[in-house]
Amino acid sequence: MQIIGINTLTLLDFPKKTACIIFTPGCNFRCGFCYNDEYVLPEKLKNYESNMIPEEAFFNFLETRKGLLDGVVISGGEPTLQNDLIAFIKKIRKKGFLVKLDSNGTNPAVLAKIIKEKLVEYIAMDIKANPENYAEIVGAEVDFAKIKESRDLIMGAEIDYEFRTTIIKELHTPEVLQGIANFVKGAKKYSLQNFEKKNVLNKNFLNYTSFKKAELQPLANIFRDSVKEVIVH
């Protein structure tokens, strides 16, 4: 398993659990707002090649966290691009840790296996935009049928999950958000994550703005009739 980064403690990313986060390299999207561009862009990844965390070192670390952490969040990049993801998750579980997986939903075949074998306790899937604007916002070609398939698999699974969107004032208009609300209709949980101007993949995105605090609640209300729980970050 390729591990490019680790955050040794998070109290926020795995709901109601203490966890560490590992980051896998590479992604098939190029979202301009991506905060992890050093884990996504091949030209930046090159700088990390010699700093990859060996799997053995990660499991040695995990051994020291027994009784201290509940679980492991696997994030990226896009973790489902890793060929040995399933075997890796099984190893984590064998050590007694719970697993949360972050995914952009482009690989339903892998998600189906993970769900069928009950290998994770939680999945967070990004919904980047309404169907019409998807390709533009992810900066790449999208097989939207796969996004739909992943949505259906996750909503039909007996596990906790959330769909989530990083929202940018100039891009995520009320109409776009209504399109997303329609797409996730019936979901258990949906998170709106306000865009932060920090390290972004496409520097043009530094010209975009986040929503003001007072603007967020009306946006959350767009989702009230579609999903059971809406969270605003």
Task: Show Cβ contacts of residue 73 under 8 Å, excluding neighbours closer than 6 positions.
Answer: 10, 13, 14, 19, 20, 21, 22, 99, 100, 101, 102
In the list 19, 34, 74, 222, the residue contacting ligand SF4 (rule: CB under 6 A) is: 34
80 vs 115, which CB is nearer to ligand SF4? 80
Alpha-carbon torsion angle 133, 139, 143, 146, nearest 10: -90
Exposed / middle / buried, residue 35 (Cβ in 10 Å: 0-12, 13-18, 19+): middle
Give the 3-state secondary structure of residue 90: helix
15 vs 139, which CB is nearer to ligand SF4? 139
Min dist CB 102 to ligand SF4, Å, is 8
Residue 127 near ligand SF4 by CB under 6 A = no
Min dist CB 201 to ligand SF4, Å, is 6
Min dist CB 67 to ligand SF4, Å, is 31
Binding residues with ligand SF4: total (CB under 6 A): 12
Where along the sequence are the contacts to ligand SF4 (CB under 6 A)? 27, 29-31, 34, 36, 40, 76-78, 104, 126
